[in-house]
Amino acid sequence: MLFGKDIWSSFEERYSVYSSNETDEDGSCVVEIDVPGANKNDVDIDVVGNTLKINVTPSYGRKKRTFYKEFLIGKEFNSDELSAKISDGILTITLPLLKEKSGKKVKVT
C-alpha cells in the first residue's frame, strides 16, 4: 500500500501475452514486462484515456509476431510523467502518482 491506499485496485489487466510484475516504488507504480528479443524500436506505448496500451513486435526471425498488453489505470497516475525503458529483455514502465492524468505518447529508451 502506497500512501495508505491500495493503488493496484485501479489497475486491471485486460489482456496478457507476456508475463508482468507490478510493484510500488518511491511514489510510483513500476510495471515490468518480459519482452524477449525486443529492442526499443519494437515497442509502442500509448495512453488513451485511462488505458495504458503496450504493443511489441520483436524484429528478429522471419515471422513478425505482435504481442499486446493493456492495463486500465486510475486517476491517481500522472501519464504526462510516465516513462519507459528496455534492458535485457525487460520493459520497465514507471507511472508516477499525481492528481491528474492525460494522454501521452511514450518514448522507450
Query: Which is nearest to 20 in space by CA: 57, 66, 61, 67?
Result: 67
What pairing do the DSSP bridges indicate for beta strands 28-34 and 90-96?
Answer: antiparallel
List the CATH code of the domain at 7-106: 2.60.40.790
Position 14 scores a pLDDT of: 42
Residue range 27-59, pLDDT digits in tens? 888 999 988 888 899 999 998 888 888 888 877
Quick one: pLDDT band at residue 89, thresholds 50, 70, 90? confident
Query: Which is nearest to 31 in space by CA: 12, 48, 57, 50?
Result: 12
pTM above 0.85, yes or no: no
